[in-house]
Chains A and B, each alone.
Chain A
Amino acid sequence: MKSGFFGLVRNGFVSLSSIFTMVVTLAVIVSLMFGSAILSTTLATLKDKVDLNVYFVIGSEEADILAMKKTLETLPEVRSVEYISDDQALVNFREKHKDDQSYFKALEELDYNPLGAALNVKAQEPSQYEGVAQFLSQTENITAADGSVLVDKINYLQNKTVIDRLARLIGAAETAGFIATIILVIISVLITFNTVHLVIFMSKDEISVMRLVGASSFYVRGPFIVTGLFYGLAAGLITLILAYPITLSLGDLTENFFIGFNLFDYFVANFAQFFLVVIGSGLLIGAVSSYLAVRKYLRT
């Protein structure tokens, strides 16, 4: 432990360059964590905006509609079903067009509510709307208890192209994000590994002398692994300290750009997770890099 710590201090400049290389690696990991969070939040928001509306024939019995709601809710792909009665539909319509007098006049001339009730269906995944739409295309599922036609219109077909495209886009973004994460982490780890390797290469004479006095592999490797752990710890703490002002300055910008996702709020709310991942990755990369780099010089 003591040798590892002195190794860090007495190798001043080399230690500093290793720590900063690791800071870059850990910063990449933090950026990927933010990227992943931004992607999932944005996708969740977008997914939430997609729904399927079932409009009922005017004058349909509420009991029939609620029965259909219950049936839909039993489908595994359905996340939620919202019932909008014909009265509520009229209130919503008036609210939506409150600034347009022509709509009000048109409504006043009618002595009945021209709007039917509706069900807003949300699926677990955008790709599952097709299954729900198919379910609703079967006659027995959309007829009332007395056999009369219940459903006037399903708007899924109109939105189908947009929904399909969004589903594909979401899938592609998730796959691309995952591949980019893996590649970036591998590159960063390799760069860090090479830097630590360089530090240990400079100590190869030291290792050979240790071997000649009969030092065991554990004794030779120990101080280097401890130094690697110190590098990882220092790099992790620097990364977390740097992340604070950076996320703070980008907070408002990201909130406006990514549909309500504030980088700083996310960082503060999930600090424990960031702390564990960043410090853990730092310690792991430092220790593993040192272990593997020393191994090469332990063969004589």
Chain B
Amino acid sequence: MIHFDKVSKVYPDKYVALEGVSFSIEAQEFVSIVGHSGAGKTTLIKMLLAEDRPTEGKVHYHSTDINKLSRRDINDFRRKIGVVFQDFRLLPRKNVYENIAFAMEAAGRTDEEIEADVPYVLKLVDLENKIWNFPGELSGGEKQRVAIARAIVNQPDIVIADEPTGNLDPINTYEIVQILKKVNDLGTTVLLTTHNKGVVDSVGKRVITMERGKIIRDDPKGNYVL
């Protein structure tokens, strides 16, 4: 489904963020990418979202070379991916309903679909009672659950969670991991980046370990080992 083929990224100041990275992810897998800060996890996510281009190598989604997509095709491609960030990135001037609805509007969904799906997806993340609240009125855990709801509402092929528990306490961290596992159980591929050992160990699935821009370990049922 996703294939990184000898991908390297060297920034203009000669900083090597990725060096010869190759791996594949199959449909419906749950893959954790772990490593210290600066290991290259976020750069790898940017390559996958076509936010940045590799200096060398290719990133394929099925048979499509992501870096050869046009502007319009990149928009279509991104609608197949749901993204969850450490800092939530909710729109502060939109309420919970609108934050999720705009992702559906962007994907060209109808008003009827939006009215039906937003409450449904909020129920999945156990947040239906906060539907009209603004992000400023929510706790960190609640914000992250809204972000997950936004990421899954368009039924994407992949959900990328980039350090989703970085700003959360242990209880909220546990709940977010459980929601991501539920999303994966429902058939969506999940790609999780984290440096939280507890999170990785509790998932108990494939772990790719990165260090200084390289993959140093790829365990099918791994633990966090560094």
Residues of chain A whose beta carbon lies under 8 Å from any beta carbon of chain B: 3, 6-7, 10-11, 205-206, 208-217, 219, 300
- Do the beta carbons of A213 and B93 come within 8 Å of each other? no
Chain B residues whose C-beta falls within 8 Å of the C-beta of A212 in the assembled complex: 49, 51, 78, 83, 89
B106's contact among A6, A11, A205, A216, by CB below 8 Å, is which?
Answer: A216
Tell whether, in the assembled complex, residue B106 and residue A213 are in contact, meaning their CB atoms are under 8 Å apart.
yes
CA distance A213 to B77 in the complex (A): 9
For the complex, what is the distance from the CA of A300 to the CA of B89, rounded to whole Å? 16
A222: min CB distance to chain B, Å: 10
Cβ-defined contact, B89 with A205, below 8 A: yes
Which chain A residues border B37 with CB–CB below 8 Å? Answer: none
Give the residues in chain A near B76, CB-CB below 8 Å: 214
Give residues 69-122 of B contacting A (CB, 8 Å).
71-72, 74-79, 81, 83, 89-91, 93-94, 102-103, 105-107
Contact between A214 and B77, CB atoms less than 8 A apart = yes
Contact A214–B106 (Cβ < 8 Å): yes
Interface centre among A205, A208, A209, A215, by most chain B C-beta atoms within 10 angstroms, is A209
Chain B 124-154 interface 0/1 with A at a Cβ cutoff of 8 Å (1 = within): 0000000000000000000000000010001
Chain A residues near B79: list those with CB within 8 A. 213-214
Most buried by B among A205, A215, A217: A215
CB-CB < 8 A to A216: which residues of B?
72, 75, 106
Q: B91: which A residues are within 8 A, CB to CB?
A: 206, 209
In the A-B complex, the 10 residue pairs with the closest CB atoms: A214-B78, A215-B106, A214-B79, A213-B103, A10-B93, A214-B75, A209-B89, A206-B91, A213-B106, A216-B75
Report the Cα distance A3→B76, complex, angstroms: 22
A214 to B81, CA, bound (A): 9
Contact: B83 with A11, CB < 8 Å?
A: no
| Contacts beyond the supplied A212-B89, A214-B106: 8 A-B pairs with Cβ under 8 Å | A6-B93, A11-B93, A206-B93, A208-B89, A211-B78, A214-B78, A215-B102, A300-B51
Residue of chain A at shortest CB distance from B160: A212
Give the nearest-CB partner of A7 in chain B.
Answer: B93
Nearest CB of chain A from residue B4's CB, rounded to whole Å: 20
In Å, the complex CA distance between A10 and B154 comes to: 27
What residues on A are CB-neighbors of B77 within 8 Å? Answer: 214
Q: Which residues of A contact B89 (CB under 8 A)?
A: 205, 208-209, 212
Bound-state CA distance A270–B89 (Å) is 51
Chain A neighbourhood of B51, CB < 8 A:
212, 300
For residue B87, which residue of chain A has the nearest CB? A205
**A215 CA / B77 CA spacing, docked (Å):** 11
Known: A215-B75, A216-B75. A210 touches B93 (CB 8 A): no
Q: Are B105 and A219 in contact (CB under 8 A)?
A: yes
From B76, B102, B154, residue with most partner A Cβ within 10 Å: B102
Which of B74, B79, B93, B154 has most A Cβ within 10 Å?
Answer: B93
Rounded to whole angstroms, the CA-CA distance of A270 and B94 in the bound complex is 43
- Return the contact of A214 from the options B93, B107, B150 (Cβ within 8 A): B107
